[in-house]
Structure 1
Amino acid sequence: MTISVIIPVYNAADFLEKAVCSAAQFDEVKEIILAEDQSTDDSLEICRRLAAEFSKVKLFQHPNGENRGAGASRNLGIDHATSEFIAFLDADDYYLPNRFDAEKELFKDPKIEGVFGAIGTEYLTEKGKHEFQSKFKEMSLSTVEYPAEGEEVFRGLLSLTPKTFGTSFHLNSLTVRRDSMKRNHIRFNEALRVHQDSELIIRLAYHCHLKTGIIDKAIAIRGIHDDNRITKIIKYTPQYNQRQFLFWKSMNDWAVAQQIAPEYRKRIYLMYTSFDLSLKSGLSKYGSIFLEILKNPDILKTKYRFTYYNR
């Protein structure tokens, strides 16, 4: 198998070389695509140096060196990928030596279009550690709860399985057939500045046959530091709700356009609507909630039903 690893780069000067070296160690990795997104630190110079040192490393920028966000940068990498498979890596994270062990076996089955696994967490700064642990439960291993494949993965990502599957898996652990992405027109939604990875993963799980790989130990490490966007998130604030609303609105637009099964379309609609309602205020908010409950009583089953309404 041949793999193109796509790394979006924005202000990652302190971490980029480690990320690139972690991908370059694999014989299967034929190219490492750096999509530089108008960094304001020394990232571009480091990209150029790495491209000169490693024959695998290829550097690309947006037209006129513009800043377009992580989604557009990953799409830039997809556009230039030439290998049979595509994998992703954030510039402040790194792969472990077992990163593609499961893939080498599972992709012998042509039915399997994507494989994903577990990632670990490393605290790179004390401030980042404090911010992360103050907002999220300890996650030494981010993974799904049990092995799954095909439609079960999609159902799990929508929390429709009888037992807890996990709400998502990290993009760093995903390897996917390039032809499958092309055939199903799967790209990152560039209009989303956050959550574009989660949005793509759900759509990918619907269109492609995904399968769990190594889920009981890490195959990649996520670095937590002062500038992680994830550590800046404060749940249930208007800004947080707005971001979730945009994410689920994009999912709802996709579900309607694709005319996916009613069960799935309804689930996505309820998630979208719960965040839409959370952004309203005053008496109109409670009137809208009442009318939505009359129309869709199942909205009371979403885990957001009171958390957002009462804030």
Structure 2
Amino acid sequence: MSLTLALPVHNDARNLRRVLAQAHKLGVFDKVVISDDGSDEPVSRTEVCPPDAWPQNCFTILRTETNKGAGHARNRALEHVTTEHVLFFDADDLLTPDLAALIKTLAGRQFDFCLFRHTDSRCIGWGILGQMPLDEAHWRRAKVQVGALSSINPTQAAALAETTNYPWNKIYRTDFLRENNIYCSETMVHNDIELHWMSFHHGRNILVSDRVGALHFVAPSGQRLTNRKGEERFAVFAPLGRIASALDTENASERLREPFLRFTSGLFDWIRGNIAPHLQKRFDAATRDFLLTYVDMARFSQLSQADPVLARHIVLQLERGRI
């Protein structure tokens, strides 16, 4: 199994050095692709890479002169991946020894992608080595929480598709992404939603592992993308629309339609609660337009039978969006 570590970075050489030192120590990555997304000081190998870590032809640094976002940076990195598999990761997160064990277990296995568990700084603060409660609930519902590695069926995949839409908790077969034209949205925020859902949409051979392969850091405040409250939040409707259209036109993803709508409705509430107050009415109107476009009467009738709580919540969102 050959594997590339693909890392977008913007003005974070210190953390990039840290994760590259980890990656070298784990000894499971054949190549590394750094995608420098317009850092003020261009990333250099001598600055961030451990000495003698990877041969020159196995370590690539790409540079975009202007900051275009992590989605663009990941897409550009993917263009330069030559190994059979790829793991997207973030420079400010940490790899774990369990990830190395998982990668060794995957050798010789055929799969489109492998989803693995993660933890984050909030959980660590609570003394928990695991995921946030909602993500753990999705894993329990899928009944895959026991066992280091297993294949999942479409019903289980539909449950796990509702987990938090991160790009770095999956090891992808590179050709799976290319053959199905799966990529990140090139927006400053919400760029990982499309990668996540289109992977579940097209994936036919999905593996899951309960190994905790990553430690994700969540900042409660500051300039991280999670904390942005401005106009850029409206960019979410374009990738959500593309996903909804894909799920509407191909029967193979019928099981994903209700989970996607549940995810979307919850995401709209999260954005509304975090966006600047003066933008809320506009966001409510845009939410209403999206729901009216992608939830017709036939689908709403089905939803009312399958999940009446979600159906009622969508009605409230539609009413809130009236001008």
Question: Is 1:69 aligned to residue 69 of structure 2?
Answer: yes
- The 3 A distance-change label for structure 1 pair 6 and 141 is farther
Q: 1:263-278 residue pairs with structure 2 within 5 A?
A: 264-265=256-257, 268=260
Q: 1:109-148 residue pairs with structure 2 within 5 A?
A: 109-110=109-110, 112-122=111-121, 139=132, 143=136, 144-145=139-140, 146-147=143-144
Q: TM-score, normalised by structure 2?
A: 0.69
- The 3 A distance-change label for structure 1 pair 107 and 194 is farther
- The 3 A distance-change label for structure 1 pair 197 and 295 is closer
Matched residue, 1:161: none
Following superposition, the deviation at residue 16 of structure 1 comes to 1.5
In the alignment, structure 1 segments of 5+ residues that lack a partner are 124-128, 130-137, 159-165
Mapped partners of 1:307, 1:223: distance in 2: 33
Mapped partners of 2:263, 2:88: distance in 1: 27
Question: Is 1:248 aligned to residue 240 of structure 2?
Answer: yes
**Corresponding letter in the other structure for 2:59:** V
Q: 1:71-220 residue pairs with structure 2 within 5 A?
A: 71-110=71-110, 112-122=111-121, 139=132, 143=136, 144-145=139-140, 146-147=143-144, 149-157=152-160, 166-168=162-164, 170-190=166-186, 192-208=187-203, 209-215=205-211, 218-220=212-214
In the alignment, structure 2 segments of 5+ residues that lack a partner are 126-130, 145-150, 269-281
Matched residue, 2:271: none
Following superposition, the deviation at residue 258 of structure 1 comes to 4.5
Q: How many residues align?
A: 274
Which of residues 297, 300, 307 is equivalent to 2:301?
297
Q: Decide whether the 8 Å contact of 1:6 with 1:33 is kept in 2.
A: yes
- The 3 A distance-change label for structure 1 pair 52 and 268 is closer
Q: Decide whether the 8 Å contact of 1:24 with 1:32 is kept in 2.
A: no
Following superposition, the deviation at residue 93 of structure 1 comes to 0.5
Task: Report sequence identity in percent.
Answer: 16
Matched residue, 2:18: 18
Following superposition, the deviation at residue 222 of structure 1 comes to 0.8
Following superposition, the deviation at residue 249 of structure 1 comes to 1.3
Matched residue, 2:274: none
Mapped partners of 1:90, 1:122: distance in 2: 14
Matched residue, 2:60: 58
**Corresponding letter in the other structure for 2:245:** D
Q: TM-score, normalised by structure 1?
A: 0.71
Q: Decide whether the 8 Å contact of 2:194 with 2:239 is kept in 1.
A: yes
Q: Decide whether the 8 Å contact of 2:71 with 2:184 is kept in 1.
A: yes
- The 3 A distance-change label for structure 1 pair 267 and 31 is closer
Matched residue, 2:29: 29
Mapped partners of 1:222, 1:270: distance in 2: 24
